[in-house]
Amino acid sequence: MNKPAKKHSRLNIVLEFLGSMNLAITILVAIAIASVIGTVLKQNQPYNDYIIKFGTFWHEVFQVMGLYNVYSAIWFLALLIFLVISTGVCVYRNAPTKLRDMQQFRVNVKEKSLRLMHNSESWSTEKESAEVENNIRHFLKLKGFRTRIKDHDDHHVIAGMKGAWNRSGYIFTHVGIIVLCIGAYLDGGFGLTIKEWTGRIVPETRDIRADQVPATARLKPEDSMAFRGSISLQEGTASNIVFLNIRDGYLVQELPFTIELKDFRVEHYSSGMPKSFESDLIIHDDQLKEPLKQTISVNHPLIYRGYALYQASFGDGGSKLSLQAWPFHSKKIQKIEVKVPVKEKRTLNTLIGKYTLEVDDFKVFNIFPNSEKEKAETGKKFKNFGPSFTFKMRDASGAAKEYHNYMLPVTQDGRRFYLTGMRSTVAEPFRYLHMPADNEDSLDRFMGFHALLHDQVNMKRIAQNSVRTAMGIAKKNDNNLQSDVVSSMMNLLTLFNQGGYIAIDRDIKQKVPKDRQVNVADAYVKILQNLLQNAYLALLKQDGVDVSKGVRDEDSLFFEDAITALAGIGAYGSPVYFQLTEFKQRESSGIQITRHPGQGIFYLGCLMLIVGIFMMFYISYQRLWVIVKPEGEQLAITFAGSGNRNQRDFANSFEELVEKVKQFTTEK
């Protein structure tokens, strides 16, 4: 006999724990914290982005904790399950009581209990019992109360109830939470998480074509309940797949229909900034009698078969670029014509070996804010730097640096420059080399100057002429001294060509005592500056410029800018500079595709939660009891009531009811 009671006791303990308010609050706080993390921390990004942002240590910590995909994490699913169980137990234990409260009028209440209530009043009347009871019931109905009356042997009890839906608010709220969790499960991608956890799917990490992705990384339309992915389509192309980012890899999600991009349009403001963009799509599906045609734009998606197609972005769709490759560190200007579409590669033979050119992106417009001075001069807030392209140069070992080159020269401080940026990793900002443009807006003079500095024969002749002029001696006198000075100048030039002033400074620190480094550095700079100036004058003469009356200011500024740029070429990292000469733009449309089968369920849960909270907080649950009892030749009336919301307001309302009831029960 004791065993069943013990089991029942244990069951009650478990139910008490699962249905406890403390457990529910703890779970809700944990879910709230997880939701904050999932909102603040951008989800489902490539791991490299997280490593750059947080560092290796914290990246691994966050990865183990599953913070990069919070809403699909196993521990988040466990929280939802516990919340559903806890809320379900609460509904199981308390819903019957709430439902009974809505129906039971408690007409068996005792007079003593009513007199002990906080809101209670008693008085006597000489009117007939039937008249009093009918008047009270009629009055309470006018005030919105449902009433019941019960005849006891020695007295009558009239019970009134108002706002009983307040009790159902508890049920709506708790059931709404359960429905919300079910919707969150359907839309949270937990099905994919469980499949990945059990090894049935394995994200692909290799950069391969979609048709080469193995079956373990491919999803059929029926394999995933909810997802969010993207695809880039070029005009005239079609696809029936979408790529889903999964941490450091991706999955290929097949669609039950094919999406074709017929046309893509972009409108720009006068400044060049994008104003609007839209895509003309054609949906091909065996279930359709004819293809579905519709235009999508930002905030105007296409909803088809439960899939939502959003206009998310746009980019390059394989524009064809014509490039000129200017060689660096060469004594000859041998420009190479290179034609390459964006997203493709080309192998180049350079002076220092084979390199692979990988073109990543192309932009027609590059919009930047103007400085306050430029705003005052031009009256425009923004300026357009014109077309640019981004690419990588990868050497034979596989190491690569990224570059960003502008097609047109950019005006800065009244001078024109060709800008080329370089960075070794995506975590770094681009460091730009400013190569001055000549009077024809070309790089001919700068590249000619660069080639001359690498022409050992001509530079040695210029160095010898410089030494003779500076020393004022005949060609055949002091040949040893002249040779030493020329040799020093050529050594300095070699260092400058290799790494600019930094290479010269490094050489001084290695070879010169510390107490003499400053003086030696000043002397070296003067010697090198003299050689560079003479080389530049020789170049101007070669270009037909008359320097007998001095050098013009614009040519002097060009020299200063050229020296600054040449000093940075050593750290540039690429054996060539690519100048964009022509392009044929081809754009692509970035389409985001989502599927949320639990969306309707989620909205239903939200509605139930809102309705339940409204009922609980804005509907007052009130009860009134009236006991009519004969006492001699009079009737004794006991009037009591209770309310669950705002006791002060209810007390005031109760006093008004008492006054009204007293009035029509005592007046003759």
Q: If pLDDT is split at 50, 70 and 90, which confidence band does 467 have?
A: confident
One-character DSSP codes across 529-595 = HHHHHHHHHHHHHHTT---TT---HHHHHHHHHHHHHHHHHTTT--SEEEEEEEEE--EEEEEEEEE
Distance CA 303, CA 666 (A): 69
Indicate the burial class of 372 (C-beta count within 10 angstroms; 0-12, 13-18, 19 or more): exposed
Q: Quick one: pLDDT band at residue 369, thresholds 50, 70, 90?
A: confident
* pLDDT of 474 strictly over 70: no
Q: Which residue has the higher pLDDT, 473 or 336?
A: 336
pLDDT over 90 (residue 284): yes
443 located within any domain: no
Residue 478, pLDDT score = 59
**pTM summary value:** 0.66
Tens of pLDDT, residues 64-73: 888 888 887 8
Reported as type and span, the H/E element at residue 377 is helix 372-378
Report the alpha-carbon distance of residue 48 to residue 46 in Å, rounded: 5
Q: Which residue has the tokens 């069951």?
A: 11
Q: Per the structure block, which two tokens stand in for 313?
A: 């972005």
Tens of pLDDT, residues 418-459? 999 999 988 789 999 999 999 999 999 999 999 999 999 999
* Closest among 261, 225, 260, 231 to 244, alpha carbons compared: 231
Burial class (CB in 10 A: 0-12, 13-18, 19+), 189: buried
Query: Domain of 151?
Result: 104-163+620-666
3-state SS, 40-63, equals HCCCCCCHHHHHHHHHHHHHHHHH
**What is residue 272's predicted lDDT score, i.e. its pLDDT?**
67
Residue that finishes a domain, picked among 373, 408, 438: 438
Ranked by mean pLDDT, which of 66-70, 406-410, 467-471, 521-525 comes out on top?
Answer: 406-410
Residue 416 has pLDDT above 70, yes or no: yes
- Residue with the larger pLDDT of the pair 43 and 626: 626
The pLDDT-based confidence of 144 (bands split at 50, 70, 90) is: very high
Comparing 19-23, 215-219, 396-400, 609-613, which segment has the lowest mean pLDDT?
19-23
Number of domains in the chain: 5
Average pLDDT estimate for 291-297: 94
Q: Residue 389, Cα to own-chain centre: how many angstroms?
A: 24
DSSP assignment string, 143-194: TT-EEEEEE-SS-EEEEEEE-THHHHHHHHHHHHHHHHHHHHHHHTTHHHHH
Instruction: Assess contact for 665 and 132: CB atoms under 8 A.
Output: yes
Does position 6 have pLDDT exceeding 50, yes or no?
no
Cα-flanking dihedrals φ and ψ of residue 200, to 5°? -75, -25
Q: Is the CB of residue 23 less than 8 Å from the CB of residue 17?
A: yes
3-class SS of residue 399: coil
Q: In terms of domains, do 518 and 535 share one? A: yes
Contacts of 551 (CB under 8 A, 6+ apart): 537, 540, 559
Task: Give the pLDDT confidence score for residue 535 in this predicted structure.
Answer: 93
Higher pLDDT among residues 345 and 72, named by residue: 345
pLDDT tens-digit series, residues 231-257: 999 888 999 999 988 777 888 999 999
Query: What is the rounded distance in angstroms from the CA atom of residue 215 to the CA atom of residue 201?
Result: 8
Tell me the torsion sign for CA atoms 547, 552, 558, 559. positive
Answer whether residue 242 is part of any domain: yes
Residues 491 and 120: their CA atoms lie apart, in Å, by 109
Residue predicted with more confidence, 179 or 644 = 179
Nearest partner of 263 among 283, 236, 240, judged by Cα? 236
Same domain assignment for residues 338 and 398: yes
- Is position 583 within any domain? no
Residues 372 and 282 in one domain: no
Q: Is residue 606 part of a domain?
A: no
Same-domain pairing of 295 and 355: no
Give the DSSP letter string of 226-294.
Answer: SEEEEEEEETT-EEEEEEEEETTEEEEEEEEEEEEEEEEEEEE-TTS-EEEEEEEEEEE-TTSSS-EEE
Distance, in Å, from the CA atom of 606 to the CA atom of 614, rounded to the nearest integer, reads 12
Q: At 24, is the pLDDT very low, low, confident or very high (cuts 50, 70, 90)? A: confident
Indicate whether 152 and 241 sit together in one domain. Answer: no
Query: Among residues 98, 102, 83, which one has the least CA distance to residue 21?
Result: 83
Residue 40's pLDDT band (boundaries 50, 70, 90)? confident
Q: Does 48 lie in the same domain as 183? A: yes
Sheet holding 320-327, edge to edge: 336-341, 320-327, 576-584
Measured between alpha carbons, how far is 353 from 360 in angstroms, rounded to an integer? 22
* pLDDT tens per residue, range 78-119: 898 889 999 999 999 889 989 988 889 999 999 999 999 999
What is the per-residue pLDDT for 66?
A: 84
For residue 4, being part of any structural domain is answered with: no
> Can you read off the two tokens belonging to residue 107?
């007409």
Per-residue pLDDT band for 668 (boundaries 50, 70, 90) equals: low
Do 472 and 564 lie in one domain? The reply is yes
Q: How far is CA 508 from CA 135, 444, 495, 524, in A?
A: 112, 33, 11, 9
Angle in degrees, CA 595, 599, 604, rounded to 5: 170
Percent of residues, the chain, with pLDDT higher than 90: 47
For 445-455, the pLDDT digits (tens) are 999 999 999 99
Residues 455 and 569 in one domain: yes
DSSP one-letter string for 409-457: -EEETTEEEEEEEEESSTTSPPEEEEEEP-TTSSSHHHHHHHHHHT-HH
Does residue 388 form part of some domain?
yes
Identify which of 359, 279, 376, 280 has the alpha carbon closest to the alpha carbon of residue 320: 359
For residue 428, the model assigns a pLDDT of: 86
CA 230 to chain centre: 14
- Pair 39, 177 in one domain: yes
Residue 36 backbone dihedrals phi, psi, to 5 degrees: -65, -45
Question: Which residues have C-beta within 8 Å of that of residue 58, sequence separation ≥ 6?
Answer: none
CA-to-CA separations, 343 to 9, 315, 319, 320, 394, in angstroms, rounded: 69, 12, 9, 10, 14
509 and 432 inside one domain: no
- pLDDT bin (cut points 50, 70, 90) of residue 8 is low
Residues 292 and 253 in one domain: yes
Q: Which tokens hold the place of 578?
A: 């690519």
- Domain endpoint, select from 381, 415, 438: 438
| pLDDT score, position 1 | 42
413 phi/psi in degrees, rounded to 5 = 55, 35
Mean pLDDT for 310-326 is: 92
* Alpha carbon distance 610, 180 (integer Å): 12
DSSP conformation class of 371: P
Proportion of the chain above pLDDT 70, given as a percent: 97
Task: Work out the mean pLDDT of the chain and round it to a whole number.
Answer: 88
* SS3 annotation, 180-203: HHHHHHHHCCHHHHHHHHCCCCCC
597-616 average pLDDT score = 90
Q: Which of 599, 619, 598, 613 lies closest to 172 in space, CA to CA?
A: 613
Same domain for 53 and 123, yes or no, is: no
Determine which of 276-285, 287-296, 373-382, 601-610 has the lowest per-residue pLDDT on average.
Answer: 373-382
Query: Does a structural domain hold residue 7?
Result: no
Mention every residue, 6+ apart, whose C-beta is less than 8 A from residue 349: none
Choosing from 393, 417, 438, the residue where a domain stops is 438
pLDDT at 4 over 60: no
Place of tokens 């460091």: 431
The enclosing domain of 635 has a CATH number of 3.30.310.80
CB atoms within 10 A of CB 151: 10
Q: Is residue 603 part of a domain?
A: no
Q: Which pair of structure tokens corresponds to residue 538?
A: 């020789």
- In whole angstroms, give the CA distance from residue 653 to residue 642: 11
Per-residue model confidence as pLDDT tens digits over 211-224: 889 989 999 888 77
